Each structure stands twice: as structure tokens, then as C-alpha cells.
Structure 1
Amino acid sequence: MTATLSTAQGGALTILGPDQTDLLRDLDRTITGWAAEAGAREIMPPPVYPLSDLEKFDVYANFPHLQFVGGPLDVTGAPPAPVGGAFASRDVDPPFLGLPHSSCYGAYLYFEQQAVAPDTTITLINRCFRNETKYEGLRRLLSFQMREIVAIGTFEHTQDVIARFTDRIERFAKELGLELHKEAASDPFFERDSGRALLQRLSPVKHEFQADGLAIASVNTHRNFFGERCAITVEGTGEHAFTGCVAFGLERWLAVLGDRFGGDLQEARAAVNAAAVNAAPA
């Protein structure tokens, strides 16, 4: 796979052009505006984490096929050189860094071992990395940007944030002329053989918003999974915090908007900015 990767337009690691970048920035400003209205403060996570941090969330047990890991080159001897676009395993020290496949992990690690207000809301954006079986331009990339709004505190707070953003997503898409389908989906955060996994099958906790068969946003209820794993408690009660998140794959939005407006990104940009105003709650 390494030898076939490309940063050219349409490649698995596509470099966005100026018009694409402008549209993505407008989209992100719209979403962060929604987050600010919901009282969210922004944090800035690193692009990689210690493996020990991501291991807390069962990512290597539940979704090993999606994961990328990294470590330094072994330079104790002659400097190694890549062959055919890859280093040999003997040239790399044991990997100790994990490349996240979702942005929200940074929120739980930031609040680890802390007590939070029952209505805590934050937002963050990060590069996500996924080892897919195939890549499809902006629809499915090896590395893409995911903006998230994360609710931490009481269960009622997480459900309020999810309901509010579900409405915003649906209003925004309607203004843009995008036909969205809300579909129940599997959740990557729970242990597969646990009581939580059974509860999820009985009552889905992840819903995707799909446009032309592509998931461009999702709302997720994690119950107290991350609160327990990161020892996050709620002020005043000492109970483990509940969490929920709303996620937007920004390059995927570019893909569906490009299709919607026939590749005219200036028209798409004008439509996004108009929809941001028209879709605002009364």
C-alpha cells in the first residue's frame, strides 16, 4: 500500500487547493460558531498520542485494522534508507506513538483525573488517520480533519447537546439542498463483548448523517465509558461523567458539496455562508 500513496489531487493524502481550503475554513467557522453558541470553549490537541493513552479506549482491541502507529528510526548503525517507499521493520525502533482515528479522544485525555461542571462543553479539531481498504478522493482519505463538539457531565447534558446539534445539522443540510439520511451505526468506543455492547445493540448510541451514501457527520452517546476510563467525575456528585460528541468530517463535506454544486466551489462557499445564517434557530 505504501508505494501507491499519493498527495496529488484525488490521492489518499490529498493536498487541498486554495478554493477547497477556503470552503473548508468557512465550514469550520460555521460549526465552531454553533459550538460557541452552545457555550463550548476550544482546546488544541496534538496530532499523535502515546500508545498507552489510546490503549485505554480499546482502539487496538476493537479496531486494530484502522490504526497507524509510529516510532523513531534506528540510527545506531548506518543511516537507514527507504526502499520502494518504505523502511524495513529492522530500521524502526518499537512504535510508541498512536495516530488517532477520531478527534474526541483529546477531550477525555485533557480532563483525565479531573472533576468537571455537569454541563461542560468543548470543541476541538484534529487530524484523523484511518487504514482503509481503499481510498476515494475526498470521500475517504488516509488523513482528514474532524471537528468535534464534546459534551461532558450529566447524561441529560449530553443528550441536550446531541439533540441541539442534530437539529442544526438537519437545518443546515436542508438549506444547502443536501438530502440527509440519519442511520443507526456501530459505535467504536465500547467493548465488543461487554454489557455496554449489548445495550448498544438494543438501543443504538451512534447515528450517522449520510449524504449520497457517505457519512459526513455523526452524533454519539458514550454513556460513562470515557468518564470511567479517564477517571473524569462530575462536580458535586463524584460520579463518573457521561460524555457525548458531535463529529464532522470536513473533507467529506467538501466532497458532497462539490457534487451538489457541480464542482463550483465559489458557489458552494456562498451557499454555506448563506445557509449558516438561514439555518440559525429562531
Structure 2
Amino acid sequence: MSATTDILTPAAGLHALGSEATALMRLLDDTFESWGVEAGADAVTMPPLLPAADLARLDYYENFPHQAVVAAPLDLERTSSSPFCCDTGCFPCDALLPAALGLPSAACYAVYLENRNRRLPGDTLVTVCSWCFRQEARYEGLRRQLSFRMREIVAIGSKEHADEHLRTFTERITAFAAALDLPLRREAACDPFYDKGGAKAVLQRLVPVKHEFLFEDLAIASVNTHRNFFGDRCSITLESTGGPAFTSCVAFGLERWLSALVRRHGGWDEAATAVVRARSVH
């Protein structure tokens, strides 16, 4: 199939991948997962849904209301009087029970929640690939989707451990992109929900907490430090200090990598060949 026809049944930010696209996705994810495992990360699996109450405790709905997607089961006592509407393609709100489940926009939230109320004996790394969900003003092919897969490598421990994690993987992403002949630029990013004149935005400009790696105008990877925010909110503490753990993460938007590689190399076969070649020298 061509690079265009191997992306199947697009609808409202939802895409199925054909065999060639799926093979390239697996090759990329295997590459990024292996980086984490080689660094000592435990490979884990996390659920794609999380309790909305847990995400709310992490300020998720305060910070990212424009991206938030929630899920609710049907209220079986009301569906007969409020049935599915074929004209709108929706169940009416009064046919639903309260939305107590959240669909997170990043894979790392589940890692922090899984480690809450734990005292860690030392520094740790975890790698996870999860479905993520973001409401967007518009959707665009594999570049911007409602649901997508994100591979993350997450560091939990001392400040030095979290900082070194980002330094190491910044170098690794840069070298891999060069081997792929994929020109990326690294830019500091402020979270879009902050008022540009607010104190948090000023702090982020002085000491950036997020750097993105962009191909053209598309961010396909990022390195993020959270300081001790998640350690404090999730009560993740360190035996060595008794204080909250520091965290950082490296994230790869897999579908966005597909989009960038096919655009750069012209097709699925050419993109896969580039990845295999880059893996052999990187």
C-alpha cells in the first residue's frame, strides 16, 4: 500500500493502520522500549482508563480542560426513554451515569498513580506504552488525533536521577534523528493552559520544564521534568531523604513519528529501511 492508503477509515480523529504502517509502528516502539530497558527500566503495562478522581487530584482537569476526555456507562433505567440518537450519533446526557473514568492524555499519569503511597529504596525507571486521548480543535491524519499511542520512559527518584535521565535521552534522541536523516529542532515549550503573563509561565521561561523535538511544525517527542510535583501529590517518597520523589519523563508520540518518517522518506518501506539502518548504527 502507499503511504496514504495504509491509513484506514479516518473518522473524527480515529485512524486504523494497515499492515505496513503497523509494522513500522512496532519497529519504532520496540526501538524506544529497548532504550529504556537498556537503561534499566522495567517494562510495564498500564490501563488506558483511570479514575477521574485520581486525575483531578493531579490538577489534570484544571490544567488541561481543553484536552480532557471522560467515559461514562449507560444508565440502563433511562436508555428506554433517552435512546441513542441516529441523527446526532450520540447518546443524550441523561442516558448516562456520571463520568467517573478519565482517558488520560499522557502515558505517565498511570505510572505515578501506581506508585502512590510508596517509599522507594532508590532511583527507578519505568517504560510504558499506552493509548492516550486528547480532544483537539481539529484533527489531521496521524499528526493530530483523538486517540493515539505514546511510549514513555519515566524516571522516579532523586533530583539528580531525574535530571540525568533527561540529559541522557536528549542526546539519544538527537543522535537517532541524525542517523535517520530526520531534521529535528529542540525547543523549550510552555504548557498552553498557562496565562502567558502568569507566574507559572514566567517560571517555565526561566527554567523550562518541557523541551519538544519538532519535525517541521510537529512535536514528535519531548523531555519533561516535573520536579517533585507528582512525588508530592502521589505521596511517593524516598528512603534516603524521606521527602517526595522527583520525576521526569521522555515521551514519543508513535503515530507522529510515522507521519514524520513517511513525509521525510516518501513511503512505508523507505521509512522502515531508515529505522533499521539507524538502529544498526545507533
How many aligned residue pairs are there?
273
Return closer, same or farther for 1:244/1:188 CA change in 2, 3 Å cut-off: farther
| 1:112 pairs with 2:116 | yes
Identify the residue that residue 43 of structure 2 maps to in structure 1: 42
Question: What is the rounded CA distance, in whole Å, between the counterparts of 1:181 and 1:237 in structure 2?
Answer: 37
Q: TM-score, normalised by structure 1?
A: 0.91
**Out of 132, 135, 152, which is 2:156 matched to?**
152
Aligned pair 1:210/2:214, yes or no?
Answer: yes
Which residue identity is paired with 2:56?
E
CA contact (8 A) 1:182 1:210 kept: yes
> What is the SS of the residue equivalent to 1:31?
helix
Percent identical = 50
Taking the aligned partners of 1:128 and 1:247, their CA distance within structure 2 comes to 12
For the 8 Å contact 2:129–2:151, the answer to whether it is kept is yes
Give the AA of the match of 1:35: G
2:230 is the alignment partner of 1:226 = yes
1:179 lines up with 2:178 in the alignment: no
1:150–1:246 contact (8 Å) kept in structure 2? yes
Partners of 1:71 and 1:181 in 2: CA distance: 40
Shift of 1:169: 0.5
Q: Deviations over 1:19-65 (max 9, x none)?
A: 00000000001011100111000121111011111111111111101
Shift of 1:192: 9.7
The 5 A counterparts of 1:12-161 are 12-79=13-80, 80-83=83-86, 84-161=88-165
- In structure 2, how many angstroms separate the alpha carbons of the residues matched to 1:276 and 1:73? 47
Provide the C-alpha distance between the structure 2 equivalents of 1:253 and 1:163, rounded to a whole number of angstroms.
21
Match of 2:174 in 1: 170
CA drift at 1:195: 6.8
TM norm structure 2: 0.91
Question: How far apart, in 1, do the equivalents of 2:57 and 2:179 lie?
Answer: 40
- Alignment partners' CA distance in 2, 1:202 and 1:97: 36
Question: Residue 252 in 1 paired to residue 245 in 2?
Answer: no
CA distance in 2, matches of 1:243, 1:182: 21
Unaligned ranges ≥5, structure 1? 1-6
Task: Indicate if the aligned counterparts of 2:64 and 2:193 stay in contact, CA closer than 8 A.
Answer: no
Is the CA contact (8 Å cut-off) linking 1:228 and 1:240 kept in structure 2?
Answer: yes
Q: Distance in 1 between matches of 2:245 and 2:191?
A: 18
The 2-side partners of 1:10 and 1:137 are apart by: 10
List gaps (5 residues or longer) in structure 2: 1-7
The amino acid that maps onto 1:159 is D
Q: 1:239 to 1:194 in 2, by over 3 A?
A: farther
CA RMSD in angstroms, aligned pairs only = 2.2
Show structure 1 runs of 4+ deviating over 6 A. Answer: 188-195
